[in-house]
Chains A and B, each alone.
Chain A
Amino acid sequence: MINFSYSIWLLLIPLMMFFILGLAGHKLGPRLSGLLGTSGLAIITMLSFIIAYSYFFGTPKNGEGFKAIIAYNITWLQLIDNLHIDIGVLLDPISVMMLIVVSTVSFMVHIYSLGYMKGERGYERFFAFLSLFTFSMLGLVVAPNIFQMYIFWELVGISSYLLIGFYYQKPSAVAASKKAFIVTRFADLGFLIGILILSFYTKTFDFITLTDPSGPAIAKTGGATFMGLSVITWSMIFVYMGGVGKSAMFPFHIWLPDAMEGPTPVSALIHAATMVVAGVYLVARLFPVYVMASPQALHIIAYVGAFSSLFAAVIACTQTDIKRVLAYSTMSQIGYMMLALGVSGYGGHNGLGFMASMFHLFTHAMFKALLFLGAGAIIHAVHSNFMTDMGGLRKYLPITHITFLIACLSIAGVPLFAGFFSKDEILAAAFEHNKFLFAVEYAVAGLTAFYMFRLYFSIFWGKETQYHHTPHEAPLTMTIPLIILALGAALTGFIPFNKLVTSDGLPFESHLDWGVAVPSVIIGLLGITVAWAMYSKSSNLPDRVASAFRLGYKWAYNKFYMDELYLFITKKIIFRYISEPVAWFDRHIVDGTMNAIATVTQVTSFRIRKFQSGQIQQYAFVYISGVIFLVILLVYIWR
């Protein structure tokens, strides 16, 4: 047994970096701060790879598959005798895989930011926040219990808030950051309620106990029910609500496109590769509970995932801001992962969906981070986010062009690129389980290829735009991460996930299903061809197509009016119809009553004080009248 207790440094290093850069960053200066933050990440990445190597290849397996290891654990807060919040490190195949994803992408983004953020005001602050994010995300990934996950879940939320609002003098960035936090907070409310229900009935927060097939969550499901579903199912639905928020699934996706207001490296790190897949990770973490104790919740996951992926793909076809296209694409791809989990079973080949989901999470992190960083290099060069301002850039940005193309080929599922393998596994899993969901995802595969190549052709081909000054290739600090990630996007498909990351820890045999792969390649190529025909040369074809489907186009272009709905709920219902009436009620009714009591007292006392006039005649009159009245009264009674 290898001792993994050093893995706690994964959390301590970025936390220390955050404090150093946050408190002393302005004294260190931008250069030193950037280097310090990046070298911290270099150590973490190295550690992650060492951990991954010794976990997957260093431990003797004896045919038992991969076991979960608690590498570190301390009690942080005692709540009830048998319920306590621990902080620790849990290593199992999915957490180790996520460690690789998070640390690699974060490291690349750090290097990239050294160049991208150069000369920005608040450079040290940026690196401090990146460290905070890395700390939070790693803490989420290695959480051995659901409450630690919730703690770090909130912390990644706040890191995301701080980084989206990095340009805090820009009103749109401020609004976007606020929206992102509040929407996800609302979803986290569900997560918290889910945790409360789950922990009440199982008396534990611990993942290993929860996911144990003979443990309290799974074996004891015959207990209490509510509205026809078991309490465990309810709690898992609530927990999933948190995942829906964080992973920007419908209907909580509205924050993600706006989050693109943040600096582009942040979009690559948080809103493409790591934080937004936290919801998928959460479901994967509790997967045995979903499969064995709450299949209804798993159905919800599958349908939410499928709908989100279609919904987002349609919108992505109409957007012109390149970062927003990528944002909707992210949402769509995460929908894929959710669907894969939703259609999966447990153990052996039944767990194909689980494996495919994790596989896609991994490859997606590579190519989507690459796409965003490439988009950053393009924006850096032309100073615009809109693809309408771009065209013919392949001559000016050769490295960006090639790496971007690799990412596009990968996401479109062209054979031998990473995305092809993982997407094929997802489609195969969906095909085995549910033909309808398979058909949806099949269509989405075509749309994906179309909108990605629409983006690619409009940026790098198409009409030659007149630029104010000749765009030039990004500096080395930015291109090196692009090249490394491009290697990842091209080659990670060959990693044997079916041997490493499976639902039950045991390897299983899985082959490329050509019956699914060939049609999906065909529809992918079809999408690329359509995009080529419409966007590779300057033409009015796109406009003609748009006007042919005028109504649909308009709806998709306006994101099916979800933002308007959100504004209606927040501005109108919450502010106008709840908060303001509450404030009015408080001032006028509750406080008014208090004031009225005071006024009545005052008025009464003003009236009564007339009796205390100080005139002896009046007192004598009252006294004598009283005596007479009493005498009459007494006589009347005793008579």
Chain B
Amino acid sequence: MDILSLFIIIPLLTITGIILVKDIRNVKKVAAIGMGIQLILAAVLIFLYVAERKGGNISEMLFIKDIVWFKSLNIHYAVGVDGISVAMIALTSIVVFAGIFASWEVELLTKEFFISLILLATGVFGFFISIDLFTLFLFYELAVIPMYLLIGIWGSGPKEYSAMKLTLMLMGASALLLVGILGIYMHSAPSGNQLTFNILEIKQYVIPITAQRTFFPFTFVGFGVLGALFPFHTWSPDGHSSAPTAVSMLHAGVLMKLGGYGAFRVAIYLMPEAAKELSWIFLILTSISVVYGAFGAIAQKDLKYINAYSSVSHCGLVLFAILMMNKTAMNGAVIQMISHGLMTALFFALIGMIYGRTHTRLINEMGGLMKVIPFLSVCYVIAGLASLGLPGLSGFVAEMTIFVGAFQHPDLFHRVVTIVAITSIVITAVYILRVIAILLLGPVTNPKYENFRDARWYEKTSVIALILPVAAIGMAPFWLSSTISSSMQPIIDKIMAINLF
């Protein structure tokens, strides 16, 4: 058994376990144990990966497993990881682990809830280990479908509307994506040769430029919708605000990262010429995303809406950096994905915990929480500081890498969009500090708050599991950055090979 397939098998076993459990109260324990094992497995994977690289293995993907699945179309079940996927897998297992503990208090249909949640996670894990476009797409779909149920059943507010909207928009995106992927497949080899879905095989061949021009927009927009590309981001505020806590965490934390990951692993890696030609359109859109999302967040009143818009801004920065198509910026994009995944999951976890106490998410109805629930409030402040890019926390590392990388383009257009994107650091500070001031500081506004109990053990577990990596990346970014950057090299080589810049 290869280690990568375990990342799919363990969640499936956990689901089986949950189905078999008799006592409904034990469901969450089984889920926690399963995802705990997954977390340990992620740590083992990191260790094995580093050991392998130290041992001098320089192949692009490690731990490759390739099984023919459907011969006539040359579809394989093919998995393999590089440093970037390992980092994303680690991110996913942390967020899922924290998500399980954040949903400790789910009462309604507990079993079904955890089954759907872990099924979603399975899809995400599968996506990150795939090196075959077909399997990749399959897992992508697997991750999107449970989302509909999770929001539609366990959500709040206009949950049916939000669930429908989110699913339809993401389905629309996957339709575009399917066209893009099939387009790549059709041009994946010189005529007469065996066509392939395998990324490693496709990248050795240059897809004809006309085909690239056609299929790059499909692929990029398809992934971009998931990464909250303006103007296709509107599923995000509604979806996040209606979703239950753990789903918001997973969704903003990892699902939105599928977009960014796919955008460079598939769209840019395989079609760099078209990416170069068309990047200006998307750079404009993403720099709008960055600033627009931040300004949108200032005017919101609902905590989840604030965070949803904040995610639009931060994920916009991911796509922005990817489109810069140089090593430093793309490196920063990956760090930003990880950083944003962790801190936004932290935000949503805390919002869920605060909501569980105050039963409102409107900031104007709350105030002075710092005095009554200091632990959660301090964690919220830490999440906020990470989000506004304070040195010592992960957001700073990501943003600075992106900005320095983006600034390496000496032409005026890239300069202007970069400076537009940089202004977001001020706007972000405005909305983050606004929320902290209204929500946490000041006098306690409601006498009932005095009876609140601060975080319980499972809430602490969830929150600390997310804060630790945020601080670790922020203080010692070198390891992560160098791992990602060496794995980014093949992609950069491919871009440089066609001599674009």
> A residues engaging B (CB < 8 A)?
75-80, 83, 85, 147, 151-152, 154-155, 158, 161, 165, 168-171, 174-175, 178, 181-182, 185-186, 188-189, 192-193, 196-197, 199-200, 574-575, 578-580, 582-583, 586, 590-591, 593-595, 598
Contacts and interface: CB of A to CB of B under 8 A. Distances in A.
User: Majority SS of interface residues in chain B?
Assistant: helix
B231 A590 contact: yes
A174 B441 contact: yes
A182 B440 CA distance: 18
23 contacts: A75-B478, A76-B477, A77-B397, A77-B401, A77-B477, A79-B401, A80-B404, A80-B405, A151-B391, A151-B396, A152-B391, A154-B390, A169-B442, A181-B429, A185-B426, A196-B403, A579-B295, A580-B299, A582-B292, A582-B295, A582-B296, A586-B309, A594-B165
Given A76-B477, A151-B391, A578 B295 contact: yes
A591 B292 CA distance: 14
A531 B428 CA distance: 47
A139 to B, nearest CB: 10
Interface in B127-146: none
B410 interface: yes
A590 B232 CA distance: 8
A583 B390 contact: no
A79 B391 contact: no
The 5 closest A-B pairs by CB, nearest first: A583-B299, A579-B298, A579-B299, A591-B234, A151-B391
A147 B396 CA distance: 12
B425 interface: yes
Interface string B387-418: 01111100011001101110110100000001
A108 B444 CA distance: 34
B477 A155 contact: no
Nearest to B418: A196
A78 B437 CA distance: 36
Contacts of A197: 407
B403 to A, nearest CB: 6
A94 B434 CA distance: 38
B278 interface: no
Contacts of A583: 295-296, 298-300
B430 A182 contact: yes
B158 interface: no
Interface in B45-67: none
Contacts of A590: 230-231, 233-234
A200 B296 contact: no
A591 B230 CA distance: 11
Contacts of A147: 400
Contacts of A186: 426
Nearest to A586: B296
A579 B426 contact: no
A170 B396 CA distance: 30
Contacts of A582: 292, 295-296, 299
B405 A189 contact: no
Contact of A171 (B405, B430, B442): B442
A155 B397 CA distance: 14
A200 B401 contact: no
User: Majority SS of interface residues in chain A?
Assistant: helix
B478 A155 contact: no
A189 B389 CA distance: 12
Given A169-B371, A199-B404, A200-B407, A80 B328 contact: yes
Contact of A77 (B371, B390, B403, B478): B478
A168 B370 contact: yes
Contact of A154 (B309, B396, B407, B477): B396
A633 to B, nearest CB: 33
A83 B404 contact: yes
Given A169-B441, A178-B433, A586-B234, A78 B482 contact: yes
Interface in B428-470: 429-430, 433-434, 437, 440-444
B385 A158 contact: yes
Contact of B403 (A76, A78, A192, A591): A192
Contacts of A168: 370, 440-442
B12 interface: no
B80 interface: no
A193 B404 CA distance: 10
B485 interface: yes
B245 to A, nearest CB: 23
Nearest to A171: B442
Nearest to A148: B391
B437 A189 contact: no
A155 B390 CA distance: 7
A29 B371 CA distance: 18
Contacts of B169: 594
A599 to B, nearest CB: 12
B9 interface: no
B419 interface: yes
B429 A192 contact: no
B450 to A, nearest CB: 13
Contact of A200 (B368, B389, B408, B478): B408
B423 interface: yes
A165 B441 contact: yes
A305 to B, nearest CB: 24
Contact of A182 (B300, B390, B429, B441): B429
A165 to B, nearest CB: 7
A235 to B, nearest CB: 11
Contacts of B231: 590, 593
A76 B478 contact: yes
A78 B404 contact: no
B422 interface: yes
B175 interface: no
A77 B392 CA distance: 12
Contacts of B418: 196
Interface string B351-389: 000000000000000001011000000000000010011
B168 interface: yes
B379 to A, nearest CB: 13
B481 interface: yes
Contact of A178 (B328, B434, B482): B434
Contacts of A575: 298-299
Contacts of A598: 165, 168
A581 to B, nearest CB: 8
B234 A189 contact: no
A196 B407 contact: yes
Nearest to A80: B328
Given A196-B403, A594-B169, A175 B437 contact: yes
Given A75-B478, A155-B390, 16 more contacts: A77-B397, A77-B478, A79-B404, A80-B408, A155-B391, A158-B385, A158-B390, A165-B441, A181-B433, A192-B422, A197-B407, A582-B299, A586-B234, A586-B292, A590-B231, A594-B165
Contacts of B391: 151-152, 154-155
A189 B400 CA distance: 12
Contacts of A75: 478
A182 B385 CA distance: 13
A181 to B, nearest CB: 6
Which of B401, B441, B442 has the most chain A CB atoms inside 10 A of its CB? Answer: B441
A182 B426 contact: yes
A582 B290 CA distance: 13
Contacts of A178: 433-434, 437
A193 B416 CA distance: 11
